[in-house]
Structure 1
Amino acid sequence: MSQSAPPPQPQSQPEPRPADGNPFAQQQAPAPYAAQPGAVPPPPAPPAPLRGNVAVGLVAAAVAAVAAAALYGVVIGLTKHEIGWAAVGVGFVIGLAAGRLGGRNPMLAVVSAVLALGSVYLGQLVGEAMIGADQLGVSFSEVFFQHFGIVQDAWKEEADPLTFLFFAIAGWAAFSGARKAAA
Structure 2
Amino acid sequence: MSNILYVTASIRPEAESVSRGLGQRLVEGLAARTGASITTRDLATNDLPYVSAERFAANLAPAAERSAEQAELATIADRLIEELQAADTIVIASPIYNFGPPASLKAWADLVARAGTTFRYTANGPEGLLTGKKAYIAIASGGTPVGSDIDFMSRWLTFFLGFLGISDVEIVAADGIMGADGEAKIAAAQETALKLAA
| TM-score bucket (shorter structure) | under 0.3
| Larger helix share, 1 or 2 | 1
TM-score normalised to structure 2 length: 0.25
TM-score normalised to structure 1 length: 0.26
Question: In terms of Rg, which structure is larger?
Answer: 1
